[in-house]
Amino acid sequence: MRLAADTNWLQAIYFDSSRSPIVDRFLRRHGLPLFVSAPVLLECRNVFSRIAGDGRPAEWVHLESDLGSRIQRLPLSWEEIVSAAEDLIGRYSAHSTLGTL
């Protein structure tokens, strides 16, 4: 099983927050590595800088040092993602409301 992390999870790992104990407990139970996409990393860079009030906060540097070990990049093909989304839209949009962003 691959565990995909979003910005909220990574924030809870690298910053002390109310969610940190929950994430720590989950990771002890399920292990590492966590997988992230390039857009998640971009969002993390922005959020980490905003929270820390620093253009290159220590938490971001720590996350970068974990890339390739604790944190793995997901190899994504945007063409495949768009194709899968188009298929889902074709199958379900006429019958239900789908959010795309």
Residue 15 confidence (pLDDT) above 60 = yes
Measured CA to CA, the distance from residue 4 to residue 36 in angstroms comes to: 6
Band the pLDDT of 76: cuts 50, 70, 90. confident
Could you give the 3-state DSSP secondary structure of residue 72? strand
* Better-scored residue on pLDDT, 3 or 12: 12
C-alpha distances (whole Å) from 38 to each of 2, 7, 71 are 16, 11, 12
Query: In the chain, what are the domain boundaries?
Result: 3-75
Q: Are 11 and 51 in contact (CB under 8 A)?
A: yes
Residue 98 confidence (pLDDT) above 70 = no
